[in-house]
Structures are given as structure tokens and as C-alpha cells.
Amino acid sequence: MNGVFDPARWRPAPFLPASDSRDSSLVFVVAVLCFLACLTALGVLASDRAAAGWSRQLTGEMTVIVRPKATETPDSAAARAAETLAGVEGVAEARALEREKAEALIAPWLGDAADLADLPVPRLVAVTLEREAPANAEALERALRARGLDAVVDDHSTWLEDIQRGAAIARWIGLGVFLLIAAAAAAVIAFATRAGLAARREVVEVLHLAGAEDVFIARLFQARFARIAALAGAIGASAAAVLGAGLRLAGGGDGLTPVLPVAWTDLLAVLPCPLAAALVAAAAARLTATSLIRELS
């Protein structure tokens, strides 16, 4: 068909075209930022799950350090302590650890050069508590004193506080990283909005002369960059979900590793990413466009 009779030739061009060759770079940058934000969310969820698992393990067990008397061998003292603790209400199991296991626990603190054969290594008793009604450290200490045993009960409260403190720090770090990424995305969108308005300054002035309000022009940029950010957010979230699924499959039942488990439900955290990216982009574009339009006026 001759170009003169092509309807597209005479159709007025939109103020902001639906697609622009320069949008690909913006989509890539925002997609990378969304990908990093999703990875941060997955990392925070995995660290919270790991901390919860360690806390459950520590609260469900206690360690008893038995110091034998001069008239008793270390093994017999540990065996008597285990028998005593097994009869305490709220204790599911109590077992005395061999000297080799106690030496393996002490060796990292003393170094490889230390000769443990001549040292008076204390005997340890591992106590597993009942989940419904666990015994407390005071009950175990009373039972041991009643049998004339010199022992120290470690309820792992110090380690539990460290784990909870570390989990809280990880959450705050994750929140800080997420806010930094959101701020970076908003700055990128603001820069793109400023560049788009500067390139169309004459058109903006004509629209003002024709009676167009600032809100109408700002909405055009707001809608445009919200769509771009939503697309970029979907791409970044999809990439993060694929990576998270790969880590979950590679790690088997423990996710990435037993230390940092990734669950299938964690992948749901990436679903709000396109909407969040669109909202951040819309807000940044609206504020930037409104400010620049007033300057141009």
C-alpha cells in the first residue's frame, strides 16, 4: 500500500511512545536491582529458619559436666549422673559421653599441639528434654546434689542468646540492604524521568499552552515508568526464583546447606516484587515529573 494511504502515517504520535529503544537499559538495571532485593529476602528467610532450628535444638538439650570425686572414677561418676538424670521428670534421655567424645569437644579450644592424655578431662552427660514439659536446669542440679554428685548444668542459654542476637542483626541488615536497593531503583527512575522530560521540553510547553494540567503530564510519566518497573520486577523476581529453586534442589532436604536452609515456601517472597517495583517507580516518576514540570513552567 502506498504510504500516503497508510492510516498509521496520519495517526498522531503519542506524547510518550509505548516502547523506546532506550528502555532496554533501564529495564536491565531495574531487573538487576529487583533480583538483588529478592535474593536479600530469600537470605533473610533462610537465616531466620536456621536460627529457629538452632534455637529449638539448644532449648531441647542440656549438657552436664561431671567432676568425679577422689573415691570415684570419671566413668562411674558420669554413668551415675546419667542414671540420676534419666529419672528426672521432663527428661527424655540422658547418656554419658565417652572420653574420646569429650576430648573431641575440648580439642578445638586447646589446639592440636595439646596432649589430652594426661589432662583430667571432665566427663559429659548429654540430656535430651521432653518437648511437652521439659525440665529446667534447677531441677537437674537438685537431682545431682541429692545423689552427692559434683556437676555443672549448662542449659545453653548463652549460645541461645548469641543465636537470637545474630538472627536479629541479620534481619536488620537485610532490611537495610532492601531499603538501599529500593532507593537506588527510585534514583534510576527519577533520572530516567528527568531525561525524558528534558527531551520533550518543547512538547510540555505546548501542552501547557493548550491548557493541559501538570497532573495530566505527570501521570503519563508515572504510568510509563510503572509499567517498565513492573516488567523489570517480574524479570528479576523470576531469575531469583529460578536461582532459589536451583539451590533448593542442589541442597536436597536442607536447601542450600544445613546451615542456610532454603524452603520452597521462601520462593513466595518474590511474588510482590513486580508490584513493589511498580509502586516505587510510580512514586519516583510522579514526584520528579511534578517538580520538573513546575520548573519548566
- How crowded is residue 239: how many other Cβ atoms within 10 Å of its Cβ? 17
Please give the tally of structural domains in the chain: 2
Compute CA 226 distance to the chain's CA centroid, rounded to the nearest angstrom.
26
Which of 120, 143, 160 corresponds to the end of one domain? 160
Domain check: are 291 and 175 in the same one?
Answer: yes
| Residue pLDDT, tens place only, 240-288 | 999 888 888 876 555 445 556 777 888 898 999 999 889 988 888 888 8
Last residue of a domain, one of 99, 127, 160: 160
Lowest-pLDDT choice from 46-60, 66-80, 104-118: 104-118
Picking from 160, 176, 210, the residue at the C-terminal end of a domain is 160
User: Where in the sequence is the domain holding 272, given as residue range(s)?
Assistant: 19-52+168-296
**Nine-digit cell at 234?**
517480574
Q: Are residues 88 and 219 in the same domain?
A: no
**Proportion of the chain above pLDDT 90, given as a percent:** 8
Sign of the CA dihedral 269, 254, 39, 234? negative
Among residues 240, 277, 252, which one has the least CA distance to residue 45?
240
Q: What is the pLDDT of residues 121-160, one digit of tens each?
A: 778 888 888 888 888 888 898 998 888 888 888 887 777 7
215 & 124 share domain: no
For CA atoms 6, 12, 18, 22, give the dihedral sign.
positive
Residue 27 in contact with residue 235, Cβ under 8 Å? Answer: yes
Q: Is residue 178 located within the same domain as residue 276?
A: yes
Give the confidence band of 91 by pLDDT, cuts at 50, 70, 90.
confident
- The grid coordinates listed for 184 are 537506588
